[in-house]
Every structure is written in structure tokens, then in C-alpha cells.
Structure 1
Amino acid sequence: MRTLEGAQINAQEQGFKGLKYPWESAVSGQEVCPSDFYGKQEIHINGDVALAFRHYLYLTQDLDIFKDGGASEVVWGIADYWVSRVTWNLEDQYYHIKGVMPPDEYNKNVDNSVYTNTVAKYSLQFAVDLAQLLQHPAPPEWQEIANKLKIPFDPELKYHPEFDGYKKGSEVKQADAILVGFPLGFPMSPEVRRNDLEFYEAVTDPLGPAMTWSMFAVGWLELGESEKAEGHLKKCFKNIQGPFQVWSESADGSGAVNFLTGMGGFLQAVLFGYSGFRVQKDCLTFSPSIPKELSKLSLKGISYLGNKLDWVMDRQLVSVVVRKQTKDHGSEQTCPLEIVLQSSGERIVLNPGQTVTFPWQPGKIQKQSTTSYCWPL
């Protein structure tokens, strides 16, 4: 939010409206990436910023930051950028985003990157939802483009091509199309998810950036393929360089040093992969698993709707306790929580200080059905 003016300048300098967040940022928010095409083409960063704000709202229900803190200006400014960036295609009757670099940096100036278009679609939809929430008028083109933005898909091979014209089997630098499954959560069948993972697993540069294999690990855990997931997770350790155990961008030690993106990917594989946590609008879903070499996995201090939860998994059971209830963020709601188990539908109330235990199975954490409706919609 502090760099909003710089993002506006970036958009204007490239001939677009709204906000264009930089690939490499000065303190002002203006683009300082030394390679021009990264700053101009790797525009999925805009959707990534909007995704962070969306997750923040779902996890806290803090509206103050959107009403008074300027976050709504960020979300709506990003939506305005997408409106000015798309073009309408008469032939297929979809909106296209042309001339981009996807997360896979071996390709540039491509059309309709599946990741870029999907994250743009979601940021436009969030702008509409936020406007409704704040009773603010939303330009109709936000919803129009969100509904009709092209998401590349091959119906015969049942997978997501990385971009228009991607030749199946071509080498890619890093995780890209598989990110549509996580973190974006784009709906797809298990068959399509598996195909995406298998197709791109075979062609991803083994010396690619460190965050790549953790995202494959998360994907395989979604499908219950724990051995494949562990194999990919172990690849991440090749990017940790001695003698001080510093993360490098590439497994051979080249690229950026103290590579935060790789560290973040590894942490996400643990937090979102083995817990199965997924941030939804009205709940936090889970699907537990632990690596075969561990007897127990603990995740402590998970913040959700004003609650701090400790989450412990062993080989058969999951134990959860609300350690404390606290309002950490502005108008964040502090809502009593419950667990709903998927197979049985059993509801387990989470009272502060009381540990509850249940057998491994998917489920969700949500506000107690017996309390008043906290979600402000």
C-alpha cells in the first residue's frame, strides 16, 4: 500500500491504467529490474499481490485495512490494470493477455500464460467481491473479463498448456502451469491435476529454481502420492549450500544467494502440503499426511479468525487445540471455531485450552454453526 503511487507510475509508463506492481522494486514501488522484459512482461506479480490480500481477508475478516488502510485501492487498481491490459478476440470470443513472461522464465513474449490469466481472473473476481462487501460500485467490465478470460486447456490431452502455442515436451525452467492447482486452487479433476504434474515433471530443468520441487510436492500430496512428494521435497535440500546452509536459487549454487523464494516454497510444502490446509472464503480445509521418516509433525501458532491453533499429527491421529483467542489485526473477528470431518460429518467444537483428537481424514475448520454469522457479507 505504501508503494501504490509507484505502481501507478509503472502502469502509466507502459501505457496502461491502474496499478502495475514491479518485478524488482525500489522503495518507492517503481520498477528497477535491470532486464527490461522482466519488468514489462512478468505481470503475474500483480495477481500475486491481489491473491495475498484475498487470503488476508479470508483468514482475518479484517475490513479496516480495506476501508481505511488503502488495501481496497490496491485491489481495485490491479483490476483496472487488467482491464486495460486485455484484448478481445473475435475468433474464440474470449479476452486474451498478450506478450507476457510466465513464471517459467525460459519463455517470454507469449500469449495467454495459463498462470498469468488464471491469477488475473481471480484478482478481477476478488475486486468485484470486495466492492460488493464495501458497498462500492464495481465497473461491469471487472466481472465481464473475469468470466471470459481465456484459460488455456487441451481437452484431448486433458492438461493445461503453459501458454498459447506451447509444444508439449518443451523444457521449462520452473514450476509454472502446476501453480494453477496450488496456490491458485483452480478447479480441475484429479486426472487433469495428475496430467499437469506428470507432463511438467518430465520437462522441468533439474537445475531450476529452488521453489519448483516444493510445488510439485504439494501437488502430489493432494493426490495422495506421498512417496513422489517426498522425493521432490528432498530435491530442495540440494539448494542448501555449505558451510553456512545458505539457500541458493539453483541446485548448483548459482543464481541468487539467500534465496527467499526457495525457502518460502519449502515452508509452504510443510504447512500446506502435509496439513493439506487450503484457504477458502468461509473455512480452512485440511487433509493430513506426514513424511514416512517422521513419527509426528507439529504446526504451532496457526492464525485463523482471531484464534491461535496448535496442530499435531502422528501416524494415525490429529490433535488440535486453540491456544488463545486474540485480535491481531484491526477489525479482525474473533470467532468460536469447530472442526467438521468430511467422511462422517461429525462436528467437534474447539474450546480454548481444550485439546481435541480425531483420526486422520479430510475436513475443515470453520466458525461454529451455533454462533452468530461472523462473515460480513
Structure 2
Amino acid sequence: MMNYSQGKGELKNWVVSEVEFSPDTLGKSESIMYLGNGYMGLRSTTEEPYIKDKRNLLISGTFNRAEENEVTELPNLADVTRFDIRIDGERFSLEFGETKNYQRQLNLKTAELTRYFDWTSPRGKELRFHFRRFVSLDNLHLIGMKMMVESLTDPVRISLDSGIDAQMSNSGSQHFLEGERRIFDKQFIQLVQTTNESKIDVVINTTHKITVNDEERIKVPEMNMDRRKVWLTYDFSLQPTDKLEIEKITTVFTSRDKEFEKAEYTIQQLRDHSLQDLQDSSGKGYDTLFQSHLETWQNKIWEAYNFEINSDDDFDQLALRFSLYHLTIMTPAHDDRMGIAAKALSGEGYKGHSFWDTELFILPFFIYSNPKVAKSLLTYRYHGLVGARKKARENGYLGAMYPWEVAWPTDGEVTPVWGDIDIVTGNQTKIWSGFIEQHITADIAFAVYQYYNVTADQGFMDHYGYEIIFDTATFWASRLEWNEKKQKYHINDVIGPDEYKEHVDNNAFTNYMAYFNMKLAIRYYEKLTMENPMCLKELTKKLNLDKAYQHWQDKAGKIYLPEPREEDLVIPQDDTYLLLKEIDLAKYKNQEKVRGIYRDYNSEQINKLQVTKQADTLILFYLLEQTFLNDDERISEAVKRANFNYYEPKTLHDSSLSLATHAIVANDIGDIDLAYSLFKKSSEIDLGPLMNTSDDGVHAASIGGIWKSAIFGFAGIRLVDGRLRINPRIPKHWHHMKFTIHWQAQPVTISITKSTLSVKVENKESITFEVFGEIHECDDFIEIPFGLTE
């Protein structure tokens, strides 16, 4: 059972707690309390093992394909967290004996996992356990663990096995060759793993420090080795009130790390370097290492993002902190060759692949809060042009056609072909997204546009951005199909964001975004013609832009863009959606578990119903109003309202990506109560009371959506064709919100109450912004009354 009120004093609204142990619902806490730093993610399994636990250690970028008939995925590394504990010769488990005062907690502020409880053994002996664990943000390769045991009543014998266990898999798939294991000086353990297909070397080192009653004990352990496993066994005898403390420090390095991506690399270099790092770290000890980690979190994250909410509901502040914590630990900020996985680094779900989730739901946070990281994530997409061009060629198109799922950027499309069972036929269903869900190409182009306009990073555009925009536009120009009867270019046989509608023609989101992509390329081509002809010349050599520009010009204005209907201003989601059968969706709108409709219908049947999986047409309004298309009458406020009222009742929010968009649009049209309700539901996707929602990992996009709903929704922050707009509408029970964003290379601190907006320009360089239609300039501090009261 989860509880979010355990943080007291300075830790109020900082602590995520599990207050009752259940061996049948381990997955939720393992996922939402996972530890990481962008380089690695460590699932928060208990030290002692249970049948249903999922012990994952994942390293960004280490993709491998276990077998020829499987797709590449992040491999599950060796386990370093397991302690096999025996009390008086019997295996320790909370399934036996009696447990009191149980708490497992993730402190978001310190990024430390703790677990403590009092336990009475089956023989009646009382012990107190306290576990601590962190993954360092200061040293990205380091994991710290500490176990403390106190005998409360009786003499007790404790035996402990601890080491490195490489007998792991990804749901049965083994990714590693048998590697060398070694113990140095009966103290330092080293295990080597090498992926069987991508040939990435992994070296894991670990060591222990033992103290009893605060005095260090030099214990000579029993050394053990087995297939893919090496460990030490320690034995202790405790008297009543004796306190045993075991520190375990671990380091992880791979040959994919940038410092080892060199021609003269040898595995011995990796082994030596990693062992030295362990030896240097272990000498400092848990507490010193943790303090460095803590200071890094405080300086780089909490003080930099500066996010505060004064709400009558404490959960709101905790949810935003939860979002910032996870956005930090899911993101490989250290390496621009790596992207963000749909399940972050918290579990094996979606195999560690990146989707459009990054560009539309996660990247905006970094664009506005940490542009350096945003640049890294977009550079990852630039590296991915190799795979995007490969996919375009394989499908008979030109330019860059981005994969629906991507792993290592040059791999190309890595979406699995087969998925869930068809409840009617009993067969596996085909996953069509990798073949025909193509809007991701334009989504990435939009992300480049958004980044450039918010940050003014011309260097990125010259080296990376323009090339992405131009080659994605070339793809769309080659993808269009001429309809002689309508004298328009159509985009047929696609899946839009609504994945409950497969093989549709003219999905409105896809068509409008392709149109935007091509018009943007035209604008940037003409801009470079005037402002930077040398850059254009180089890109023209590479991409044959003279011919491409002509194709964009000839085709962009002839793309079929579904118009709002005269009678109700509703834009058809695709050619057939508004003609499909309508059914009563109340049963599925009020479901506790997503995808409940699949218990009654298969994919083919759902394809024929007016039901939407997630925000589709509605995303258009949120995206395109940020662009030079914001004055287009087809996306006006009246059309936005009409489409929200039509599509929201038909949307099941069966994707975790959906609620945030609906919350933002609801706020835009003035329905603040509904916006807050959707924000709350979005926050509860991982933090809610249901204990099986996050078993496969956290929902990275919805975590980004928590931040988006607050900033783009309630705070009303929006890019509008190169200008900053701030139209705040905070919920009734929010009294104040404060945060720092970056606008065109400088931090801007924004404070909002019910009726005032304060803007502080930290570098005192003048900015211009709009508030409810009025233009303001500020080069220091300004407070603006905006007159919205309860």
C-alpha cells in the first residue's frame, strides 16, 4: 500500500512510501522508486529475493539482440543488490515470522531508497533492519548500498551471501556471453560480461566494508564462484543490542562509454580503470559518497529548477517533484548518442526503445528547463538520420523517415512485428506501428522548431537542425499520393496517434504535421538563402536541396488538410472516423485498468467504432498554435473548443500519453476544473493507489506530462510563433506557483498567484512576452495583475 504523507518537516511532500509489504505486489514500488542517473537505472527490488521480484540493472545505449528472431533491447545486467541472508541458519524472508513498522521509502530530494522494519523470527528472536541505497548523480558509474541489522533480544547468528550475479535475463532471453570472474585480495570482486551480438563489454566491480558496533571488522570471507556468478559469504554472531553494518559499493563501466570508444581500446583497460574507480570510491565510504551525490542533486536539479506549488492538496507538490526526479534519472544527459526509453530505465517494458514520447512529452521540459540536455536529445535524433534514411530507402521513399521505435541511433526500425493476443482468433496481433505510424517524422521536425525558437541556438541549427528539417520534408514530399479526383495530395494507409485506428487515410494529425514540416523547410531554405548562403550551399551538396525545394513548393500547398465541418466545426480525425458506429463508452471511460475494451473487441472490431485510444486531433491545436500557422482559422479557439467537446468523450485515455494533452487543452478553453481532474489522473498513472499499474516500468511520457500540464496548462507558458506567451489559469485550490524556465539563453523565474504574474529576468537581458493579449517588456522584474479571480 502506498502512502505519500510520511515526509515530515523539511521533507514534507518529498517522500514516496510503501507502508505495507506484499510479496504479490512488488512491481509498483520496484518501478516508481527506481534509482538512476541517466547512465544507469537500478530497479528498487528488495535485498532479499522473492519469487515475483524483477531485478533489473539497465545501462543506457547498451543495446543487443539476443536472438535472430528478436529485436534489439537494453540487456539486463548482472544483479548486485541481492543479499542472501540467513538467520540462525534459516533463510530470511518477510514471508515468515512477524513484521512490524514496515516502511520502504524513496526520498525524492536526496534520491535515496530506504527500507526499515522490525522483524521477529519464527524462533521468536527480534531484529531491526535498516537498508539504504543510492545511484550516484555525482559519479555516474557508482551504486552505494548499506545494510544495518540490530539484535534486539537474543544472541543470533547471521550469515550473508553478497556479490555479483550474472544469472539474469530479459524475460528469459540471455544477452551475455559467459565472462571472467575474479576476486582480488579476498575483497574486490570483478565480473566481466560481453553482449553476444553487439559485443559490448561490461565490467562490474563490488566490495564490502563490515562494522560491528561502529568498529570496522576485517572479516576473511568464504570465496565462492559459480556459472555467471561470484560472491563472498560472511558469518557473524551478534549479542543483544549489537549492531552489524555492511556497506557495499559497486561500479559499472562499459565499452560503450565515450571514454572507451576509441581504436586502441582493450578490455584490460576497462577492467583496470573500473577497478581503480571502485578502490578510490570504497575508500571514501557510503556516507561521503552519498553526501557528494546529495550536493549534486541539490545544485544541479532542485535549485536549478526551483519549482514550488502552494496547493491545498499536498499531493500536487509531490507529483511535480516526482516528475522532476524521474525526468532527471531517465535521461542520458551524458551522451548524445542515446535517447530516453518509454519505460525510462525502470524495467524491461518496450525494450528500452525510444518513441515520439520523447519529442512531444519529455523534451519540452528540457527545452524550457535545461537546454543543454535538450540539445543532446535532439543530437541523438541527428545521429539517427542514418537509420531514418535507411528506413526511407527500404520503404521506397526519399529523405529521412524516422523509425517508430529506435534503439542505437543507426539501427533503423526496431519495432517488434508481433504483439498481444487477438481475443477473437487466438492469434498474435501484428504491430503495424513500425510500418505505418509515420507522424513521428514530423513530430521530430516540430521538436527542432520548438527548441530553436525557445533557445535561439543558431549553432545547433547550422550543424544539425536544418538537415533534420530538410530531409524529413523530402520524405513527406516523396510519401504524398496524388488523388486525381480531388486534385489533392493524400497520405493513405497510416496510423495516427490514435492507435485504435489502423490503415486509415488522411489522418488529420499526420496530414497537418506533414504540411507543417514541408512549409517549415521552405521557410528555412529561404531564410538561409538570405542569411547564410554558405550553410545552404553545403547542405545543398549533401541533400540535393535545389530539387527538393522545388518539390516542397509544388506539393505543400496541395496537401489535403481535413477542414472543420460547417455544422459543428469538428475536424474529421480521418476519412472514415465520423462515419463509424457509435457505442456507449461509459464502461470503458470509467475502467480501473486500461485497454478494457480489448476484453470485448479485437483490433479489427475496434477499428470500426468511434472510439479513440488517446489524444489525436486535439494535439494539433496544442502544437500548431506554437508555430507560424497559429493564425490559421482551421485551428482557431472556436474550432479547438468544438473538437475538444467532440473527441474527449470518445477518448478512453488508454495510453499514458493522452491525459496531459487533454488537461492542457481543457485549460486553454477555460475548463480549469476538468483540466485539474485530468492533471490529477495523469499524476496517478504511476502514483495512484492501484498496485499493478507500473509492473513493467514507469510511464516516462506521462511523467513528462505532469510537468507539461502544470507549465503549459495552469501557468499558461507557450511558444507562439517565436514569442513567449504567459496566460495563467491556476486551479482553485492552488494559491501560488513558482518555477524557473529558460528563454533564449537566460533563466526566467515566474511566480503566479490567483491574480498576479511576476517575472524576474535573472541575467537582466530584456525579454518581450505576451500576457492575455498585452505585450510586456522586462529586463529585471515586473509584476502584472491579470484579473482572473475565483
> What is residue 145 of structure 1 aligned with on the other side?
555
> What is residue 341 of structure 2 aligned with on the other side?
none
> What is residue 372 of structure 1 aligned with on the other side?
none
Q: CA deviation at 1:129?
A: 1.2
Cα distance in 2, alignment partners of residues 219 and 230 from structure 1: 11
Return the letter of the residue paired with 1:229. A
Q: How does 1:21-60 map to 2 (within 5 A)?
A: 21-27=402-408, 28-35=410-417, 37-60=432-455
3-state SS of 1:285 partner: strand
> What is residue 783 of structure 2 aligned with on the other side?
357
Q: CA deviation at 1:282?
A: 3.2
> What is residue 470 of structure 2 aligned with on the other side?
76
Q: CA deviation at 1:292?
A: 1.2
Q: Is residue 103–residue 174 contact of structure 1 (8 Å, CA) maintained in 2? A: yes
Cα distance in 1, alignment partners of residues 659 and 786 from structure 2: 26
Tell me which protein shows more strand as a share of its residues: 2
Return the letter of the residue paired with 2:489. Y
Relative to structure 1, the CA distance from residue 230 to residue 93 in structure 2 (aligned partners, 3 Å threshold; closer, same or farther) is same
Q: Is residue 8–residue 20 contact of structure 1 (8 Å, CA) maintained in 2? A: yes
Percent identity (aligned): 28
Q: How does 1:261-276 map to 2 (within 5 A)?
A: 261-276=701-716
Q: CA deviation at 1:342?
A: 4.8
Relative to structure 1, the CA distance from residue 230 to residue 160 in structure 2 (aligned partners, 3 Å threshold; closer, same or farther) is same
Q: Is residue 736–residue 751 contact of structure 2 (8 Å, CA) maintained in 1? A: yes
Q: CA deviation at 1:348?
A: 4.2
Per-residue deviation, residues 168-217 of structure 1 (Å, max 9, x unmatched) = 641111111111111232642333211211111111125x1122122111
Q: Is residue 725–residue 770 contact of structure 2 (8 Å, CA) maintained in 1? A: no
- Paired residue for 1:257, among 697, 708, 714? 697
- Paired residue for 1:232, among 648, 673, 678? 678
Cα distance in 1, alignment partners of residues 787 and 696 from structure 2: 40
Relative to structure 1, the CA distance from residue 82 to residue 350 in structure 2 (aligned partners, 3 Å threshold; closer, same or farther) is same
Q: CA deviation at 1:37?
A: 1.8
- Paired residue for 1:13, among 394, 413, 432? 394
> What is residue 284 of structure 1 aligned with on the other side?
724
Relative to structure 1, the CA distance from residue 155 to residue 144 in structure 2 (aligned partners, 3 Å threshold; closer, same or farther) is farther
Relative to structure 1, the CA distance from residue 177 to residue 30 in structure 2 (aligned partners, 3 Å threshold; closer, same or farther) is same
Scaled by the length of structure 2, the TM-score of the pair is 0.41
Q: Is residue 4–residue 29 contact of structure 1 (8 Å, CA) maintained in 2? A: no
> What is residue 318 of structure 1 aligned with on the other side?
757
Cα distance in 2, alignment partners of residues 361 and 53 from structure 1: 35
Cα distance in 2, alignment partners of residues 118 and 337 from structure 1: 31
Q: How does 1:1-377 map to 2 (within 5 A)?
A: 1-27=382-408, 28-35=410-417, 37-67=432-462, 69-135=463-529, 136=536, 137=546, 139-153=549-563, 154-167=565-578, 169=582, 170-185=610-625, 187=632, 188-206=635-653, 208-241=654-687, 253=693, 257-300=697-740, 302-324=741-763, 336-342=766-772, 345=774, 348-351=776-779, 354-360=780-786
Cα distance in 1, alignment partners of residues 674 and 705 from structure 2: 17
Relative to structure 1, the CA distance from residue 239 to residue 201 in structure 2 (aligned partners, 3 Å threshold; closer, same or farther) is same
Per-residue deviation, residues 5-26 of structure 1 (Å, max 9, x unmatched) = 1111011011111001111112
Q: Is residue 112–residue 164 contact of structure 1 (8 Å, CA) maintained in 2? A: yes
Q: Is residue 111–residue 163 contact of structure 1 (8 Å, CA) maintained in 2? A: yes
Relative to structure 1, the CA distance from residue 156 to residue 307 in structure 2 (aligned partners, 3 Å threshold; closer, same or farther) is same
Q: Is residue 724–residue 768 contact of structure 2 (8 Å, CA) maintained in 1? A: no
Return the letter of the residue paired with 1:156. E
Tell me the C-alpha RMSD between the 2 structures.
Answer: 2.3
Per-residue deviation, residues 213-272 of structure 1 (Å, max 9, x unmatched) = 2211111111111112112222213312478x99xxxxx727962111111222211111
3-state SS of 2:705 partner: helix
Q: Is residue 682–residue 705 contact of structure 2 (8 Å, CA) maintained in 1? A: no
Structure 2 runs not aligned, ≥5 long: 1-381, 418-430, 530-535, 537-545, 583-609
Relative to structure 1, the CA distance from residue 50 to residue 255 in structure 2 (aligned partners, 3 Å threshold; closer, same or farther) is farther
Cα distance in 1, alignment partners of residues 717 and 526 from structure 2: 27
Q: Is residue 152–residue 161 contact of structure 1 (8 Å, CA) maintained in 2? A: yes
> What is residue 329 of structure 1 aligned with on the other side?
none
Q: Is residue 683–residue 703 contact of structure 2 (8 Å, CA) maintained in 1? A: no
Q: Is residue 211–residue 266 contact of structure 1 (8 Å, CA) maintained in 2? A: no
Return the letter of the residue paired with 2:555. I
Cα distance in 1, alignment partners of residues 391 and 553 from structure 2: 24
Cα distance in 1, alignment partners of residues 670 and 556 from structure 2: 32
Cα distance in 1, alignment partners of residues 620 and 687 from structure 2: 30
Relative to structure 1, the CA distance from residue 232 to residue 89 in structure 2 (aligned partners, 3 Å threshold; closer, same or farther) is same
Cα distance in 2, alignment partners of residues 348 and 110 from structure 1: 45
My pick for the range that moved more, 167-176 or 74-83, is 167-176
Q: CA deviation at 1:293?
A: 1.4
Cα distance in 1, alignment partners of residues 524 and 720 from structure 2: 15
Q: Is residue 656–residue 685 contact of structure 2 (8 Å, CA) maintained in 1? A: yes
Relative to structure 1, the CA distance from residue 340 to residue 98 in structure 2 (aligned partners, 3 Å threshold; closer, same or farther) is closer
Per-residue deviation, residues 110-132 of structure 1 (Å, max 9, x unmatched) = 11111111111111111111111
Per-residue deviation, residues 55-76 of structure 1 (Å, max 9, x unmatched) = 1111122222222x23222111
Cα distance in 1, alignment partners of residues 474 and 574 from structure 2: 23
3-state SS of 2:618 partner: helix
Cα distance in 2, alignment partners of residues 3 and 126 from structure 1: 20
Relative to structure 1, the CA distance from residue 143 to residue 304 in structure 2 (aligned partners, 3 Å threshold; closer, same or farther) is farther
Q: Is residue 341–residue 361 contact of structure 1 (8 Å, CA) maintained in 2? A: no
Q: Is residue 641–residue 669 contact of structure 2 (8 Å, CA) maintained in 1? A: yes
Relative to structure 1, the CA distance from residue 361 to residue 21 in structure 2 (aligned partners, 3 Å threshold; closer, same or farther) is farther
> What is residue 366 of structure 1 aligned with on the other side?
none
Cα distance in 1, alignment partners of residues 473 and 695 from structure 2: 33
Per-residue deviation, residues 91-136 of structure 1 (Å, max 9, x unmatched) = 2222110110110111111111111111111111111111112224
Scaled by the length of structure 1, the TM-score of the pair is 0.84
Q: CA deviation at 1:151?
A: 1.6
Structure 1 runs not aligned, ≥5 long: 247-251, 326-334, 363-377
Q: Is residue 398–residue 475 contact of structure 2 (8 Å, CA) maintained in 1? A: yes
Q: Tell me the number of residue pairs that the alignment of Structure 1 and Structure 2 aligns.
A: 340
Cα distance in 1, alignment partners of residues 437 and 787 from structure 2: 39
> What is residue 330 of structure 1 aligned with on the other side?
none
